[in-house]
């Protein structure tokens, strides 16, 4: 496994300034929908909510843009693109409630990148008649 990092220099001071207390906020709901047999999520499918899941909020900086662009171009099964520990630490984190809702408060206006991961396993049970018998 190859691990690469952005070449852009991380500016901790600018990131801390971006994460300083402000008067804005972001509210949302974490959910997904089951994929159909054709591989897409039907618009009217039932929502499956992410309960007690972590939601991360990163300030978008030049370093972050470099990391994101590098991920789009280079990340695959054999290559991972990481941000530095120092950059990863500059974020807000919250947890969803029992309805998948999350809330970030007291944010400064600006651009942010929101990230959450949610695993989904669906099991089906179906009764199948395999034939009949006569005696």
Residues 30-65: tens digit of each pLDDT: 998 887 777 777 787 888 899 999 999 999 999 999
Domain residue spans of the chain = 2-35+45-116
pLDDT interval class at 125 (50, 70, 90): confident
pLDDT interval class at 122 (50, 70, 90): low
- Here the tokens at position 73 are 């171009």
Q: Which residues pair with 83 in a beta bridge?
A: none
- Residue of 40 and 107 predicted with greater confidence: 107
- Residue of 9 and 121 predicted with greater confidence: 9
Q: Which pLDDT score, from 0 to 100, does residue 114 have?
A: 96
Taking the alpha carbons of 61, 65, 67, 68 in that order, is the dihedral positive or negative? positive
Q: Is residue 9 classed as helix, strand or coil in its secondary structure?
A: coil
Instruction: Tell the burial category of 124 from Cβ atoms under 10 Å away from its Cβ (0-12, 13-18, 19+).
Output: exposed
Q: Which pLDDT score, from 0 to 100, does residue 124 have?
A: 66
């Amino acid at each position: 496994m190859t691990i690469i990092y952005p070449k852009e220099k991380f500016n901790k001071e600018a990131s801390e300034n971006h994460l300083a207390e402000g008067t804005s906020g972001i509210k949302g709901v974490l959910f997904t929908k089951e994929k159909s047999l054709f591989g897409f999520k039907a618009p009217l499918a039932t929502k499956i909510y992410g309960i007690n899941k972590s939601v991360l909020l990163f300030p978008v900086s030049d370093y972050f843009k470099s990391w994101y662009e590098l991920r789009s171009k280079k990340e695959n099964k054999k290559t991972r693109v990481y941000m530095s520990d120092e950059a990863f630490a500059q974020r807000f984190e919250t947890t969803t409630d029992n309805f998948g809702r999350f809330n970030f408060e007291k944010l400064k206006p600006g651009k942010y990148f929101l990230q959450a991961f949610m695993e989904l396993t669906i099991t089906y049970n179906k009764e199948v008649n395999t034939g009949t018998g006569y005696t």
